[in-house]
Each structure stands twice: as structure tokens, then as C-alpha cells.
């Protein structure tokens, strides 16, 4: 979707709706962020059931940009990987890596990133319009994928490139000589977010019919180069939850009706939430507690969009079940606004945990890519200073438990109501406890999310027996503490009393990771 300064249009699209509602009188003072457990905890029950299907480890993907030496993955001279940064990335273990970036793909010249470093050319950033040597080029990207055992995923430049450029890139990495560095590349995407019109670069925007025509030409040229690849096209419905989300109404329906060449999956960016827009002073008045409640209800927006897109695609292709690639996702509160830092907070990380729960449980998700791996403003899982941001811990936990088989999980939980915030409409009856479980190598792994702002929840777990091998909790006194951006959050071990059934206390606004003995 975005680099540091893009997606300005999306804010404009959302602002009109956000500005029309009463944001309330509650001030966002730092003292409002301190929360404590109430004396009487809530209670919930989680029942582990049978295996319902193999896990999909491709939802553990990530994004890497070509700029700034791969967002700091390379040393200052661009000649080798930064060992400390690489070690942290290796520990995280992303299974898919997308390149060359979000909107950066719209101006990327892949040939400038080929050949010896000393002979490399430059490519233009999307914004600001500056040219920069492509030190983190195709070979470096594919070498990183090889080191991480990650599937490479390339986005071709449809905005300012040509079908021949895309086909030549494909031949370069999938050629008969073995390709560049560590090809071949199986997953390819036709453009990034063609349904938007960025203020910074209005000249790259095209009407949906024009995009569909270009997509047909790109797909034909790429199929001629290698017909074994999987090709995806980006779509977005007119609305994302409560707000407008495209510059061209009817984009998705028009493109689906006009793309005649064969494609294999749909690329979606429908999980950047809660996305709060509007006047700065109004946004700053949002209660952190209300923002968190909306974040914890936001998964419903994503589920609804996936279901609506499924229906739309099925009407056009009733004989096919095209899978979805969530090629970018992250928590977003504001962009260049009062709540930017919330992205790299505990609250943002818990949204990521809830979203991964949804994506990992669906059978129609091909892959998913967190935005993004390193550096890149508040977005990187590892900061430019090599600090582990909260999202890193969540991604790492899912990387550990997404093995073997998914387990059926029945959750009986108290509920809460969430206010309308940004793209998330008001919600009633949101379950306070959410859960995801897997079974692998004779043990069950269970993640529990307590979405309550203030209340502990004692969860009774049916279908598992003592002992509890691992019990770790990710939480903090404040949901949106700015120090989290600098790596100030860590897992802590917790003690679970032995008993049958197991009863586990889960702190307010937290993620609990358990490894259990299944019955």
C-alpha cells in the first residue's frame, strides 16, 4: 500500500465520512492510557475440538521495499546484509516476501537493480520524487528469500512500466539458466493499488477500464514468457467498512468484467484498520479505550469484505474458487496524524494477532504479507534501530504455532460493545475472548486474546490436560505506549495452576500463548 508518505488519497477518501460524526468530548491525555484489572474477573470457556485442516504457513508473509538499502537490510555501502538485522529477520522466519514495495512498485525500474553494485542505475521513489541507486535489487531480494526459505512474490510496474518490461523481468528470474540468484519466482502481482489516485502522483492513476486493458496485455506477455506462474490482480470494493475506499467507484466490478486473460488469485488490501481520518483536533480527542475497542471489533470488517468479495468473484467466475492474497496488512490508526505511533504499540499488535487468527482459520486465503519487515517508519516489525516492535512478537508466536493441523475451537465468552471509529462501524456483542489453536507433534498450541480494556478473564479450557508446557503473556499497563516503538515490550512467563479442567487467568488487553497436552 504505502511507504512513509503515501496513501494520502485514502485519507481524503475516508475524511469526509469521519468528519460527519460526533467524535465526543473525551480528551486523549496520557493519563487515560493507564488501565488496571478490575477486582472481579470475567469468565469464559474454550473447548478444543478435532482437527479441521492443515495450517497454511503462507499467511506468515512479509514485505520488503527496494529503497534505503532494503529498509536497512543492507550495510551502509550496500555490499552485504547487515548481520544484526538479518539475524532478527531469520528468527522471525517469514514464509513469503513481497517486493519491490507498495506504491514503490508503480515507479520501479527493475533493470536499475541488476548487475554489479558499481554499475547499478537509479529508480525513482514514488514520493518524494527523488532518484536513488537500487542497491537492494532483484538479486539481493532473491538471496534474502533463499536465506529465509521464503517464497518470493513480485509486483510488476503497471503504472509506468510496460508489458515487455514485466515479461523481461520474468525471463530474468525464471530463465532456463536458473534465473537471477535464487529464482524461479512463482507468485506475481499485476500492479499495487490501481483503485486509488494518489495526490502525490496523479499522473499514474488510470480508470478501471484502462487498468483492465493493461492487465490483459501484461498477463499475455508474462504467460508467453512462462505459463507456469501464478498471477494475481488487485481488487477493492467501493467501501471498506463504514467508509469509501476507492477513487474509482465500481472499480472491482469493471475490472472483473473486463480482464479476459487467465489469472490465479485476487490481491486484497482490506485489513488496514481502524484507519481514523478527519480533522486533527477531532482525531486527537478519540479515547484510547474506544480506539482499542474498535480495533478489537475490526476483524468483522475484514471478514465481511472477504465474504463480499467472494460473492462478487463467484458471480463472475461461478466455476472457479479464486483464492485471496492479502498482500499487505497492518494496524493503521492515522497516517501523519495524531495517532501514528499507535501502529507500533501493544494495541496495534493485538489487532494483528486477531487478524492473523481470522486469516489462518480460512480456507480461501492463499497467502498474507505483513507491512512490513524492517524500518519503514512505524511499519517495520524490526525498527531501523534493530528493535523488536510489538508486532514482531505476535508474528513470531504465530510462526511457532502454525504447524500441523488447525483445531476446532469453541469459545463461550462475555461480550462488549465497540463504538464507530474510522472505517470500523459501531458493533454490539463483540466476544471478549478470541482463540486460535493447532496440534503438532503431540501437543496443542493455543493463543488467547483478551480484548477487554480493563478486565481480567479466567478462561476454562476443555479438551486439554496438565501439564502446561508453555505459558507466556504479551501485555503492558498501557495499550498505546510510545516506548513500544523502541522495543519496550516483551513476553513474560506466567504460572498456570494444575487442574482439570484447566483454568487460566488472562490479563486485560493481552495475548496468552499456551502449549498444552491434548486429551
Give pLDDT tens digits for 138-197: 999 999 999 999 999 999 999 999 999 999 999 999 986 555 555 799 999 999 999 999
Whole-number Å distance between alpha carbons of 124 and 459: 53
User: Which segments in the chain show pLDDT lower than 50?
Assistant: 4-37
Q: What is the pLDDT of residue 84?
A: 97
pLDDT in tens, 314-329: 999 999 999 999 999 9
Q: Which pLDDT score, from 0 to 100, does residue 203 have?
A: 81
CA 385 vs CA 49, 71, 88, 490: distances in Å: 43, 11, 12, 17
Instruction: Give the three cell numbers for residue 324.
Output: 485471496
CB 450 within 8 A of CB 46: no
pLDDT value, residue 21: 39
CB neighbourhood size of 394 (10 A): 27
- Does residue 165 contact residue 217 with C-beta atoms inside 8 Å? no
Amino acid at each position: 500500500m504505502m511507504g512513509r508518505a503515501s496513501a494520502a488519497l485514502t485519507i481524503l477518501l475516508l475524511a469526509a465520512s469521519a468528519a460527519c460524526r460526533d467524535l465526543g468530548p473525551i480528551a486523549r491525555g496520557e493519563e487515560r492510557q493507564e488501565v488496571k484489572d478490575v477486582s472481579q474477573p470475567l469468565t469464559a470457556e474454550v473447548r478444543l475440538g478435532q482437527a479441521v485442516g492443515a495450517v497454511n504457513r503462507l499467511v506468515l508473509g512479509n514485505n520488503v521495499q527496494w529503497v534505503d538499502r532494503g529498509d536497512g537490510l543492507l550495510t551502509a555501502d550496500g555490499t552485504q546484509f547487515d548481520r544484526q538485522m538479518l539475524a532478527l529477520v531469520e528468527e522471525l522466519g517469514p514464509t513469503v516476501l513481497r517486493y519491490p514495495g507498495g506504491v514503490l512498485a508503480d515507479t520501479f525500474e527493475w533493470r536499475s537493480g541488476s548487475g554489479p553494485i558499481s554499475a547499478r542505475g537509479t529508480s525513482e521513489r514514488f514520493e518524494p520524487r527523488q532518484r536513488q541507486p537500487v542497491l537492494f535489487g532483484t538479486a539481493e531480494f532473491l538471496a534474502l528469500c533463499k536465506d529465509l526459505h521464503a517464497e518470493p512474490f513480485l509486483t510488476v510496474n503497471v503504472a509506468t512500466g510496460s508489458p515487455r518490461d514485466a515479461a523481461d523481468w520474468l525471463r530474468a528470474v525464471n530463465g532456463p539458466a536458473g534465473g537471477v540468484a535464487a529464482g524461479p519466482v512463482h507468485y506475481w502481482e499485476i500492479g499495487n493499488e490501481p483503485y486509488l489516485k494518489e495526490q502525490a502522483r496523479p499522473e499514474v492513476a488510470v480508470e478501471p477500464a484502462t487498468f483492465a486493458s493493461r492487465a490483459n496485455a501484461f498477463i499475455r506477455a508474462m504467460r508467453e514468457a512462462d505459463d507456469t506462474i501464478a498471477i494475481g490482480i488487485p481488487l477493492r470494493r467501493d467501501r471498506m467498512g463504514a467508509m469509501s475506499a476507492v477513487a474509482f467507484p465500481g472499480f472491482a466490478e469493471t475490472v472483473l468484467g473486463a480482464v479476459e486473460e487467465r489469472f490465479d488469485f485476487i490481491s486484497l488490501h482490506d485489513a488496514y484498520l481502524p484507519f481514523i481520518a478527519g480533522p486533527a483536533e477531532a482525531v486527537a480527542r478519540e479515547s484510547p479505550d474506544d480506539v482499542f475497542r474498535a480495533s478489537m471489533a475490526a476483524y468483522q470488517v475484514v471478514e465481511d469484505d472477504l465474504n463480499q468479495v467472494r460473492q462478487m468473484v463467484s458471480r463472475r467466475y461461478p466455476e472457479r474458487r479464486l483464492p485471496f492474497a492479502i498482500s499487505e496488512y497492518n494496524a493503521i490508526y492515522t497516517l501523519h496524524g495524531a495517532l501514528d505511533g499507535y501502529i507500533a504499540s501493544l494495541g496495534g499488535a493485538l489487532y494483528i494477532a486477531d487478524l492473523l487468527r481470522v486469516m489462518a482459520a480460512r480456507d480461501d486465503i492463499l497467502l498474507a504479507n505483513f507491512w512490513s519487515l524492517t524500518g519503514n517508519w512505524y511499519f517495520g516489525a524490526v525498527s531501523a534501530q534493530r528493535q523488536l516492535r510489538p508486532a514482531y512478537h505476535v508474528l513470531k508466536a504465530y510462526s511457532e504455532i502454525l504447524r500441523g493441523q488447525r483445531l476446532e475451537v469453541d469459545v463461550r465468552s462475555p461480550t462488549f460493545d465497540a463504538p464507530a471509529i474510522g472505517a470500523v462501524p459501531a458493533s454490539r456483542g463483540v466476544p471478549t475472548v478470541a482463540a486460535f489453536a493447532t496440534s503438532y507433534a503431540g501437543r496443542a498450541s493455543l493463543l488467547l486474546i483478551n480484548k477487554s480494556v480493563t478486565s481480567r478473564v479466567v478462561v476454562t479450557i476443555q479438551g486439554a490436560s496438565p501439564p502446561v508446557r508453555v505459558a507466556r503473556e504479551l501485555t503492558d499497563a498501557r495499550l498505546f505506549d510510545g516506548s513500544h516503538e523502541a522495543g519496550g515490550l516483551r513476553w513474560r512467563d506466567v504460572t498456570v495452576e494444575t487442574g482439570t479442567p484447566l483454568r487460566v487467568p488472562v490479563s486485560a488487553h493481552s495475548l496468552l500463548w499456551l502449549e498444552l497436552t491434548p486429551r
